[in-house]
Amino acid sequence: MMEDFAQRLIAWQRRHGRHALPWQQDRDPYRIWVSEVMLQQTRVETVIPYYRRFLERFPDVASLARATLDAVLTLWSGLGYYARARHLHAAARLIVNEHSGRFPRDFAAIAALPGVGRSTAAAIAVFAYGERQAILDGNVRRVLCRVFGVEGWPGEPVVTTRLWRLAESLLPLQDLPVYTQGLMDLGALICTRARPHCDLCPMTECIARVTGRQKELPTPRPRRDLPERHKAVLLLWHAGEILLERRPPTGVWGGLWGLPECEVEAGPVEAAQALGCQVERVEGLPRLTHDFTHFRLVMQPWLVLVNRPSRLAEADGRRWLSLDAALDTALPAPVRRLLSVLVPGEIQP
């Protein structure tokens, strides 16, 4: 084992790491928490503008707890993995109700917050409170697997357990925030998934580098074909407005606004009529695909011009909005893509 791993990493981070990220400017646990949740499975450059807008709207736990879920999801729209936003909102209310509005200091209490978990809680505890905790996000797993030659897919429980033990054994006694940031920076900037910059890495004895196995470590996830789910969606258009429908609070795109759906085998006219709409014209649009972790969604969009909507189409959970207003709503990314190419003046009955 590389005995001076931590000291090399700390020295490298101080000289070459990132020091100007917006959440690095203070040790406010709320801001660190928001950033760490946003950074789950999302790149830093994507997160930064969302983070800034989010804090402008919700500068503290109390303001986030007071907000409606719809307001939170609207700001999150486009960032993906929307369960993170629902968990963030639920956790803010829990902090207000059970911790008197103060972000918890206890590591176990942080890890128990909705959507946090062990590694995210450790990052918050390190950066906000200077605690001695190990992190193990995707970048860190890749660094440890390559440097120490850890075999096996990191998602396997036995490999995960080994990596946690390794991560804990490497913790230095001092400079925990610098060390932790260094792990994140090394994985993001140098030990990248493709084309790692080994010539710039301070870990010259890295097993993957010495043996030429950078492409093999970490061991890739076993390949499997994504099952496909097919849905038809209705872009119901009337008098310059589109009909949106709130999705169930849990599951895929939970709590977001989307388009009415129907089975692919069902006709768009019949589906629109089932919502009480009189149809003027129907036009098929190009199919869209969207990959989730466990399946691929194939969407067949139908543009349906409606000449007379009914109260059924305006029931609870549905609303007619102008295109601009719809695009300002909390929408799943594929729905946003569909609406963004519509030009109201070109839609004629």
Tens-place pLDDT, residues 187-218: 999 999 999 999 999 999 999 999 999 999 99
List the catalytic residues: 36
DSSP state at residue 280: E
Residue 308 has pLDDT above 80, yes or no: no
In contact, 244 and 319? CB cutoff 8 Å: yes
Handedness of CA 119, 76, 46, 51 (dihedral sign): negative
The pLDDT value recorded for residue 223 is 83
Position 1 scores a pLDDT of 53
With 80 as the cut, is the pLDDT of residue 310 above it? no
| pTM tops 0.75 | yes
Model confidence band, residue 265 (pLDDT cutoffs 50, 70, 90): confident
Asked whether the beta carbons of 41 and 293 are under 8 A apart, the reply is no
The mean pLDDT value of the chain amounts to 92
pLDDT tens, position by position, 27-43: 999 999 999 999 998 99
- Phi, psi (rounded to 5 degrees) for 284: -80, 135
When pLDDT is cut at 50, 70 and 90, the band that residue 8 belongs to is: very high
Residue 344 is predicted with a pLDDT of 64
User: What percent of the chain has pLDDT above 70?
Assistant: 97
Domains of the chain: 5-211 (1.10.340.30), 228-346 (3.90.79.10)
Which residue type does 254 have? G
For 59-118, the pLDDT digits (tens) are: 999 999 999 999 999 999 889 889 999 999 999 999 999 999 999 999 999 999 999 999
List 158's β-bridge partners, or say none: none
Q: Are 281 and 305 spatial neighbours (Cβ–Cβ below 8 Å)? A: yes
Residue-level pLDDT at 345: 57
pLDDT at 343: 63
